[in-house]
C-alpha cells in the first residue's frame, strides 16, 4: 500500500498558472484507497479546475497508474484529449506520476504527495521508485524523482561528478540529474531548474505520529517484521 494525499489546491493551481488546459489522470489502486486520486477525486478535481478557469480536455482513471504499458494502452482512446492539453495532472503516488511522465510526451504534474507509512518505500515492477518524501517535487524535475534517481538523493541539482552520463558513485547507473536535465530540455521546461532552491523538509519524510495508530501503519509494520524473519 502506498499512501498519498492531495496537494493543497492552491499549489496545483500554481503549477498550472501558465497552462490553459489540462488532462487529469487518476488511479483505482492505492490512490483510490487513499482517497486522493480515484474516480470520485478526479471528477471533483475536474469541477474545481473548471471553476478556476482551466479547460479540462478529458480525464482517465486507470486500474494501476504504476504500469507504463497499461497507461499507454488505456490512453489509446484519449489521444486527442491528451494532445489538446497543455499539461497532464496526475492524482496518485510518486511512482504513478513518474510512470505517466515517462509514457506521455507532455509536461506532467503531481497532484498528490506520497506519505511515509513506515514500511517499504514505494516500489513497483517498473523502474520508477518513490521515497515517500511527503512533498512531491516531480513538477520541478520533469517527472523524474531526484530522491531515487540520484544516488545521493540531491534535490538541488547535479553534483558535477557524472562521467559520460553515468553516476560517479554508481557507474552502472545513469546520472539521475542528467536524466532530469534531458527530460526538461526535451519538453521545453529547462526554466524549472531555477525552482530547486528549497532544501527538503525532513519532518515530512518521517511517518506522522497520528498515522502510527492506523491499521495501515500496523499492516506495514507487520509486513516489515515478516520480511526481517
For ligand SF4, the closer CB: 100 or 167: 167
Site string for ligand SF4, 3-42 (x = CB under 6 A): ----------------------------------------
Under 8 Å CB-to-CB from 213, ≥6 apart: which residues?
none
On whether the CB atoms of residues 89 and 45 are closer than 8 A, the answer is yes
Q: Residue 8 has what DSSP assignment?
A: P
C-alpha angle 46-100-138 in degrees, rounded to nearest 5: 85
| For ligand SF4, the closer CB: 100 or 150 | 150
Under the criterion CB under 6 A, does residue 150 sit at the interface with ligand SF4?
yes
175 touches ligand SF4 by CB under 6 A: yes
Least gap, CB of 77 to ligand SF4 (angstroms): 28
Count of residues that interact with ligand SF4, criterion CB under 6 A? 26
2 makes contact with ligand SF4 (CB under 6 A): no
Instruction: Rule CB under 6 A: say whether 154 interacts with ligand SF4.
Output: yes
Of the candidate residues 87, 130, 180, 193, the single one contacting ligand SF4 (CB under 6 A)? 130
Tell me the three cell numbers of residue 70. 497499461
Taking the complex as a whole, the smallest distance from the CB of residue 43 to ligand SF4 amounts, in Å, to 24
Radius of gyration in angstroms for the set of CA atoms belonging to the chain, rounded to a whole number: 17
Q: Which is nearer to ligand SF4, 34 or 57 (CB)?
A: 34
Task: Choose between 177 and 217: whose C-beta lies nearer to ligand SF4.
Answer: 177
- Does 100 bind ligand SF4 (CB under 6 A)? Our answer is no
State residue 127 phi and psi, 5-degree precision.
-85, -15
Stretch that binds ligand SF4, among 25-33, 38-46, 50-58, 167-175 (CB under 6 A): 167-175
Contacts of the segment 9-15: beta carbons below 8 A, 24+ positions apart:
9/48, 12/45, 12/49, 12/89, 12/109, 12/111, 13/49, 13/52, 15/87, 15/89, 15/109, 15/139
What gap in Å lies between CA 20 and CA 144, rounded to an integer?
Answer: 24
- The pairing of strands 129-130 and 122-123 is antiparallel
Q: Is 138 in the site for ligand SF4 (CB under 6 A)?
A: yes
- Binding residues for ligand SF4, rule: CB under 6 A, are 94, 113-114, 130-133, 136-138, 145, 147, 150-152, 154, 158-159, 161-162, 167-169, 175-177
Amino acid at each position: 500500500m502506498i499512501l498519498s494525499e492531495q496537494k493543497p489546491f492552491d499549489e496545483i493551481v500554481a503549477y498550472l498558472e501558465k497552462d490553459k488546459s489540462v488532462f487529469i489522470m487518476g488511479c483505482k489502486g492505492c490512490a483510490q484507497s487513499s482517497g486522493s486520486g480515484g474516480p470520485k477525486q478526479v471528477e471533483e478535481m475536474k469541477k474545481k479546475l473548471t471553476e478556476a478557469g482551466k479547460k479540462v480536455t478529458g480525464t482517465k482513471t486507470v486500474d494501476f497508474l504504476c504500469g507504463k504499458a497499461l497507461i499507454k494502452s488505456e490512453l489509446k482512446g484519449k489521444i486527442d484529449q491528451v494532445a489538446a492539453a497543455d499539461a497532464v495532472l496526475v492524482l496518485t503516488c510518486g511512482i504513478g506520476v513518474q510512470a505517466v511522465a515517462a509514457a506521455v510526451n507532455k509536461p506532467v504534474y503531481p497532484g498528490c504527495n506520497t506519505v511515509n507509512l513506515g514500511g517499504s518505500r514505494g516500489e513497483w515492477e517498473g523502474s520508477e521508485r518513490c521515497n515517500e518524501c511527503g512533498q512531491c517535487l516531480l513538477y520541478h524535475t520533469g517527472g523524474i524523482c531526484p530522491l531515487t534517481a540520484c544516488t545521493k538523493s540531491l534535490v538541488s541539482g547535479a553534483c558535477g561528478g557524472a562521467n559520460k552520463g553515468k553516476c560517479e558513485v554508481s557507474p552502472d547507473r545513469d546520472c539521475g540529474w542528467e536524466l532530469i536535465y534531458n527530460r526538461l530540455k526535451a519538453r521545453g521546461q529547462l526554466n524549472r531548474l531555477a525552482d530547486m532552491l528549497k532544501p527538503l523538509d525532513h519532518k515530512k519524510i518521517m511517518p506522522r505520529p497520528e498515522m502510527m495508530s492506523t491499521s495501515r501503519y500496523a499492516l506495514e509494520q507487520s509486513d516489515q517484521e515478516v520480511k526481517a524473519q
